Amino acid sequence: MAQEQPEGRWTAILTEINHCNKCGFCLPSCPTYRLTGQELHSPRGRIAMVEAAARGELEQWSALEEALTYCVACRNCETACPSGVHYARILEAGREFLRARHSRAFRGSFAAQQALRLAKYPGRLRGLVRLARRLTGVPLPGAWARFRAMLPPEPRPLPAGPPPRAARRGTLLWFDSCVMAAVFEEANRATQALLNAAGWRVVTVPRQTCCGAIHLHSGERAQALALARQNVAALEAAVAQYGAAGIVHNAGGCGAMLTEYPQVLAEDPAWAARAQRLAGLVQDFTALLWGEEGPLLPFQGNGERVALQNSCHLVNVAKAGQAPVRLLESVEGDTYVPYYGQEICCGSGGVYNLNHTDWALGILDQKMRAVATVHPTRIVVNNPGCHLQMQWGARRHPEVGAEVEHLATYLWRSYVRAAARASSEATAMEGTAAEGRP
């Protein structure tokens, strides 16, 4: 007997679950299974628990709650699944089922709730970050104290580049991640500068707000829907106004959320249709720096060994994880170092690291051990949550000896270096030509 879930919803979820052959191919892709070695904390185990609930085999909820609580929702299992099971739908259905039973499991810690609130007000978040950076000696409120290690050091100033070329490629709408805006402003500037250099005009979308991803994954569904609607309206207006060729972002998680708006808003067909029209326009900045014959800009490195912590949702949801890799491979003079276990989540998971700090750190420690095997001097990231988490990892594991940086600032510096070299070579050429003159 199905348990008190709307009949249609359970039927739909059981149909989805029916595609799971329990083959286990998802296990190695799952950060919590790798951490615990326990089925209950694997995608297959979580699906099995939701299946049991849907089939009326559960009499209480603690096991289901435990299974669904610790999922980071990186969705790497969806990429690994040979049968194409939509894991996130099953996870969401299970979490909703528990919420309807007033489970407290997904309420989030104090710090996480604060973070959700702050995300809607980038200005306040930015102020708080500045304060925390300045007052390193001052104790933070208890709930926040242990997270100070996530805070990146004061950013290095971005070097000035050559003047941008004419915007011959078209106009892009800039979708700003709230955390990026607050903590990683220079990465935003670098992203826009790179796009400009590549010939794109970039316009910031007025009246945009937080994408709502962390709210959705924290069970604040109503909040998430409200934020989604506000963004859809703002983006629609901007597309109409500027005739934009695309909506660009530099935060994999936020971008993936935009592409998922049609599913998020599915219960409201009119909004879903509007979101659907926008979803096809969303692109990560890296895709827009790659042309038909290769990178649109030259990149010159500095003898570094560069590892990538790709945004899980960019890879697993937006399916756009290859562009960052291709760009890194194109950097002359640096070595891009792939490593075993690279595709595994770092444990950031939006506010997962605020809610389940011990698990997040366990996952992070595994990540740092994996990345250490290739001895990187630099770890680049392309999502603010991952940035904060990897920063924490670098502090916890000084033996790795790698600096953490956003992909955009890294690429910008490499571009400036390449441009400088090209111009000095050009000067030298001119000089040679001048000397050769009779």
Q: Which is nearer to another protein, 83 or 427 (CB)?
A: 83
Q: For 17-49, b where at least 16 C-beta lie within 10 A, e where not — what string?
A: beebeeeeebbebbbbbbbeeebbbbbbbbbbb
Q: Which is nearer to another protein, 80 or 278 (CB)?
A: 80
Output helix, strand, coil percentages for the chain, rounded to the nearest 5: 55, 10, 35
Q: Which is nearer to another protein, 16 or 304 (CB)?
A: 16
294-295 vs 290-291, strand pairing mode: antiparallel
369 in contact with another protein (CB under 8 A) = no
CB of 268 to another protein, least distance (A): 29
CB of 86 to another protein, least distance (A): 13
DSSP-derived letter for residue 148 is G
371 in contact with another protein (CB under 8 A) = no
Q: Which is nearer to another protein, 62 or 302 (CB)?
A: 62
Q: Which is nearer to another protein, 216 or 315 (CB)?
A: 315
Q: For 274-310, b where at least 16 C-beta lie within 10 A, e where not — what string?
A: bbbebbebbbbbbbbbbeeeebbbbbbbeebbbbbbb
- Binding to another protein, residues 322-361 (CB under 8 A): 340
Q: Which is nearer to another protein, 85 or 247 (CB)?
A: 85
- Binding to another protein, residues 31-50 (CB under 8 A): 36-40, 45, 48-49
Site string for another protein, 53-82 (x = CB under 8 A): --x-xxxx-xxx-xx-------------xx
CB of 365 to another protein, least distance (A): 15
Contact of 21 with 83, CB cutoff 8 Å: yes
CB of 9 to another protein, least distance (A): 17
24 in contact with another protein (CB under 8 A) = yes
Contact of 161 with 383, CB cutoff 8 Å: no
23 in contact with another protein (CB under 8 A) = yes
Determine the Cα–Cα distance for residues 210 and 116; give it in Å rounded to an integer.
Answer: 10
Phi/psi at 261 (nearest 5 deg)? Answer: -50, -40
Determine the Cα–Cα distance for residues 195 and 175; give it in Å rounded to an integer.
Answer: 13
Number of residues near another protein (by CB under 8 A): 33
CB of 338 to another protein, least distance (A): 12
Q: Which is nearer to another protein, 54 or 265 (CB)?
A: 54
DSSP H helical ranges for 55-177: 62-69, 76-80, 87-100, 110-119, 122-134, 142-145
Q: Which residues bind another protein (CB under 8 A)?
A: 18-19, 21-25, 27-28, 36-40, 45, 48-49, 52, 55, 57-60, 62-64, 66-67, 81-84, 340
